[in-house]
């Protein structure tokens, strides 16, 4: 089995499914909250590529995330409004309100391109290595907060293959959740 090709295919399929799910969302759909205390649909959809970005750029490579780079510096919602996880509901809402469907899909495409480009430099044997992930804590104060550290607590000794597989599964789970929320939003908003 070609593990590199499999990972590339999985990331690509998450991206294709994200595009299919987000296509045609109205601003009301994007801002829909299924229940008190739950994230807005827009945040959940933004969170998918943001988590992929974080996984590869921050956790594995210890370089700036795609959304922190000059090309994205002035795009709404991509200027460090918050981390992809370990943030308050208010911060998650602010991200959803700051980014649009089109912004999120463009970001998802940029993250996919960056991740696949990086993956083409990875040897299959590297997938069994544990990334040197602790140094990334120095880059942003937010990476040293209790909420962030609680989110990553179980990840320190995971191999590259485990980290990537968990992120792909995480994205797929959120796609399923978002699909259900989209349908509930449309039923609720049609009343």
pLDDT, tens digit, 9 for 90 and up, residues 41-79 = 999 999 999 999 989 998 899 888 898 887 776 665 555
In 31-91, DSSP assigns E strands to none
Maximal CA-CA distance, the chain: 55
Least reliable range by pLDDT among 17-26, 49-58, 82-91, 102-111: 82-91
Name the average pLDDT for the chain: 88
Q: Are the CB atoms for 104 and 82 separated by under 8 Å?
A: no
Spans of all domains in the chain: 3-189
Render pLDDT for 114-164 as a digit per residue (tens, 0 to 9).
999 999 999 999 999 998 887 777 777 777 888 888 888 888 889 999 999
Quick check: 13 and 170 in contact, CB under 8 A? no
Helix ranges (H only) for the chain are 3-22, 27-30, 41-53, 89-98, 101-119, 146-152, 160-189
User: Rounded to an integer, what distance in angstroms lies between the CA atom of residue 1 and that of residue 79?
Assistant: 39
Q: Classify 3-189 by CATH class.
A: mainly alpha
Spatial distance between the Cα atoms of 48 and 52, rounded to a whole number of angstroms: 6
Query: Is 60 exceeded by the pLDDT of residue 34?
Result: yes
pLDDT value, residue 137: 72
**pTM of the model as a whole:** 0.91
Cα(136)–Cα(62) distance, integer angstroms:
5
């Amino acid at each position: 089995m070609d593990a590199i090709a499999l990972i590339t295919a999985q990331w690509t399929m998450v991206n294709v499914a994200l595009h299919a799910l987000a296509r045609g969302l109205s601003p009301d759909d994007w801002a829909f909250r299924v229940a008190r205390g739950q994230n807005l649909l827009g945040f959940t959809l933004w969170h998918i590529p943001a988590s992929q970005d974080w996984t590869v750029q921050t956790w594995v490579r210890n370089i700036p995330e795609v959304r922190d780079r000059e090309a994205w510096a002035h795009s709404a919602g991509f200027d460090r409004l918050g981390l992809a996880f370990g943030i308050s509901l208010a911060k998650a809402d602010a991200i959803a309100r700051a980014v649009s469907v089109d912004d999120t899909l463009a970001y998802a495409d940029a993250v996919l391109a960056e991740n696949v480009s990086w993956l083409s430099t990875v040897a299959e044997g590297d997938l069994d290595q544990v990334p040197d992930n602790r140094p990334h804590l120095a880059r942003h104060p937010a990476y040293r907060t209790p909420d962030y550290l609680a989110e990553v607590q179980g990840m320190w000794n995971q191999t590259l293959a485990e980290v990537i597989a968990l992120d792909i599964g995480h994205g797929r789970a959120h796609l399923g959740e978002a699909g259900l929320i989209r349908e509930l939003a449309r039923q609720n908003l049609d009343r």
